[in-house]
Chain A
């Protein structure tokens, strides 16, 4: 997704000279295409994320559209109060770009796992929050939202190879996208884990369980009506996110179920334990947290039995 982001940002920056790219000293082998083409509009801020957001606020007040880039945790959590008192309070077009949502930096350990960024961003009504599922959706989400007047948070995966089958890059602000249309079970996914969810749905289909897979990439504004219509058709929904289960897509779905009075049981699949002080691959952590395709198949079958 970050490759698609950088490539699309170069396209947009060629058309609009207000676009700037700031980085907290990250982006090796990813941001060079922007830095080489627009050296005056690229600033490596050093390892100083709070100042990066403050400077972006000052630039935006003067008419620029700065994108501030770092790994998810350092982009969202370290400068959170700057984001709150800067672009959100001033309603300025700063774009905060977090790369490596979930456990994509698995071996780097818990300091590098982005597990609560959507939660803390989504709680700010003044912040548009976008979490695409693959590269093509990232490109279209960026094309649709780069020019919004207020701030935007983009939660990106760093993997550019993953493609969500049949999504075809579809994105619309405030809407959800579906890629499977079965009547037995609803799966709602967010972000880079989506391809695991589709794999799980296809495995379940081979076992005679037909799933609908819905993808939420637009969190603020959230696809409330789309979700409500879908949820009303199912007795059971599994939400899946490489994120703590509080505040992300699981919470969003639970809010819609509760606020609309929908009779659908919500099973939230995601991270529920304190940070694991262990090293491992993304796949290892997906398995540990029960959100690998295989683990999701097991959970789906178990919960469907309970529902009978």
Chain B
């Protein structure tokens, strides 16, 4: 059971996006449950500077605010630090920087994080460590050819300690993925490259945790969770809408968004 509630992540995403008056809100809301599952239960990180911690790379760096929310809920960044998001001189920019505790690698340029992760996974094996490496990529990011170099490398070297989560929301910056550059069937593509593929609901935290728990991270192929998600999840007027990759919220939109996210707690309560 996740110790981080994705509603708390969504509330922070909305608050900070509103305060900073910036976009990428839909992308951040989309991965809130994946991030909650990772930081609430899956990741083994005794402290962000522990050399033998699990590594986590947010390769879709534009969802950094969702990550900052989790790092804050873990207690690794203070409220004061969180409130510097998007301000001049802050360590908390639109994309994550490795100087921030809890961020292992800087990202922002799509298609690079998986190569960093493959290197980190190879390093763990060479150092006889049981630590694992998680990389969260977007489906649009899979347009990048270099990502598939890393996919081939990880399968060839049987990096069983490498676990990728594909945020399959079927859209990208300037259109729907099927219209821009078709990546479907996503799972079959990874399977064809020799990966251990699991198709999961990217908003079902318990299922995500169970799937990761079932993986053999000591031998065999690398793993990928192809996680079906809804862009803008939790805010009705943002869901599946391209414009919420970019747009900031006005006051009325913000009020409605917070209301809907808060209401979702009641919905899921037993």
Contact = CB atoms under 8 A, between A and B. Distances in A.
Interface of A: 40-41, 43, 45-46, 48, 50-51, 53-64, 66, 81-82, 85-86, 89-90
Given A82-B146, A85-B109, A58 B115 contact: yes
Interface of B: 51, 98, 104-106, 108-109, 112, 114-124, 126-127, 133, 146, 149-150, 152-153, 156
Contacts of A90: 98, 105-106
Contact of A51 (B106, B115, B121): B115
Given A81-B109, A82-B115, A48 B122 contact: no
Contact of A57 (B51, B108, B115, B146): B115
B141 to A, nearest CB: 14
21 contacts: A45-B153, A46-B153, A50-B149, A51-B118, A51-B150, A51-B153, A55-B116, A55-B118, A57-B105, A58-B115, A58-B118, A59-B120, A60-B119, A61-B119, A62-B51, A62-B127, A81-B109, A81-B112, A85-B108, A86-B112, A90-B105
Contact of A54 (B51, B108, B118): B118
Given A50-B149, A51-B146, A51-B149, A58 B112 contact: no
Nearest to B144: A50
A151 to B, nearest CB: 14
A288 to B, nearest CB: 35
A58 B119 contact: yes
B95 to A, nearest CB: 10
B120 A61 contact: yes
A77 B241 CA distance: 37
B150 A54 contact: yes
Contacts, number: 92
Contact of B121 (A58, A81, A82): A58
B119 A55 contact: yes
B112 A55 contact: no
A43 B119 CA distance: 11
A86 B98 CA distance: 11
A4 to B, nearest CB: 27
Closest 9 CB pairs between A and B? Answer: A54-B115, A58-B119, A62-B123, A51-B149, A55-B119, A58-B120, A48-B149, A50-B146, A59-B119
Contacts of A81: 109, 112
Contacts of A86: 112, 116
A82 B165 CA distance: 21
Contacts of B108: 85
With a 10 A CB-CB cut-off, give which of A43, A46, A54 has the most chain B CB atoms. A54
A53 B153 contact: no
Residue in B114, B116, B124 with the greatest tally of chain A CB atoms within 10 Å = B116
A56 B119 contact: yes
Contacts of B114: 54
A82 B105 contact: no
Contacts of A54: 112, 114-116, 118-119, 146, 150
B20 to A, nearest CB: 23
Contacts of B152: 46, 48, 51
Contacts of B109: 81, 85
A61 B123 CA distance: 9
A56 B123 CA distance: 10
A300 B119 CA distance: 50
B153 A59 contact: no
Contacts of A61: 104-105, 116, 119-120, 123
Contacts of B153: 45-46, 48, 51, 55
A87 to B, nearest CB: 11
Nearest to A84: B109
A214 B117 CA distance: 44
Given A48-B153, A50-B149, A59 B115 contact: no
Nearest to A94: B119
Contact of B106 (A62, A64, A85): A85
A55 B124 contact: no
Given A45-B153, A46-B152, A50-B146, A55 B98 contact: no
A77 to B, nearest CB: 14
A86 B51 CA distance: 19
B105 to A, nearest CB: 7
B146 A58 contact: no
A59 B121 CA distance: 8
Contacts of A89: 98, 106
A6 B183 CA distance: 42
A135 B203 CA distance: 58
Given A51-B149, A54-B119, A62 B112 contact: no
Contacts of B119: 54-62, 66
B159 to A, nearest CB: 10
Given A59-B122, A62-B124, 12 more contacts: A45-B153, A54-B150, A55-B118, A58-B119, A58-B123, A60-B119, A62-B127, A63-B51, A64-B126, A82-B115, A82-B146, A89-B106
Which of A45, A48, A53, A58 neighbours the largest number of chain B CB atoms within 10 Å of its CB? A58
